[in-house]
Structure 1
């Protein structure tokens, strides 16, 4: 019987996640400003959701990925009611390190772009270590 690799995550994996902006997603609501437009923390959360979705079906049971580094440029304001689309593409795999290129658009127009780095970990061990650190 052939042993499975630690993970079957390869460059080129992609995912897309959508969000219709509500009052709860605004900079004012999330505490990152006082304007009623899509807040940067929500833009980042959406981009990260796309990175998680890109690998979700390709990692071994019991494994997960955790974010370790983000580089994000928020380029345009998005008002309540608009739908934004986050796309992630796995650009590079270096051992357990996964580097994604991410973009967020509104009607095809750029809202944000950047890179997200995640690390493949054993979910149970990670949670246990985090609990001990508290």
Structure 2
């Protein structure tokens, strides 16, 4: 991790919601999801928040490092329809070793749609890929 990785790093991301990021598209094999109106799915919203946090970290990690989400504590307070733009504001609130705590707020043209916290862990890509290979039986001794 670079010395610049400190609380206060902030980033804003804009995301225009396409139709295929609505609830019926989240798990198309689920008739229960298919029956819900076409609004931004919470699962996709979480992904958008993670993306904004990853973007905030550009330039602050060493070569070979990446971050993975480890905890999500987000509300989903209002529906967002396709074509709307979600604006996600993230701010790195705390760095505790390799653990990064972000405060987030997301809104569209009408309301705040989400607020909360997201925790990410800084990891070594090679070590992580080795762990994955061990789980799949593809690790080289």
Which TM-score applies when normalising by structure 1? 0.90
- Residues 100 and 116 in structure 1, CA contact (< 8 A), matched pair in contact too: yes
Structure 1 segments, 4+ long, off by >4 Å, are none
- Residues 87 and 103 in structure 1, CA contact (< 8 A), matched pair in contact too: yes
Higher strand share: 1
Alpha-carbon deviations, 1:108-131, whole Å to 9, x = none?
720111111011111111111122
Partner of 1:3: none
Gaps of 5+ in 1: 1-5
Which of 97, 100, 103 is the matching residue for 1:98?
A: 100
Distance 2:73 2:129 in 1: 25
1:59 Cα deviation after fit:
0.7
- Number of residue pairs aligned between Structure 1 and Structure 2: 129
Mapping 1:23-102, distance limit 5 Å: 23-31=19-27, 33=33, 34-102=36-104
Q: Is the deviation greater in 27-36 or in 48-57?
A: 27-36
Alpha-carbon deviations, 1:35-70, whole Å to 9, x = none?
201110111011001110111211111111111111
1:80 Cα deviation after fit:
1.1
CA RMSD of the aligned region, Å?
A: 1.4
- Residues 23 and 80 in structure 1, CA contact (< 8 A), matched pair in contact too: yes
1:14 Cα deviation after fit:
1.1
- Bigger CA radius of gyration: 2
- Residues 43 and 104 in structure 1, CA contact (< 8 A), matched pair in contact too: no
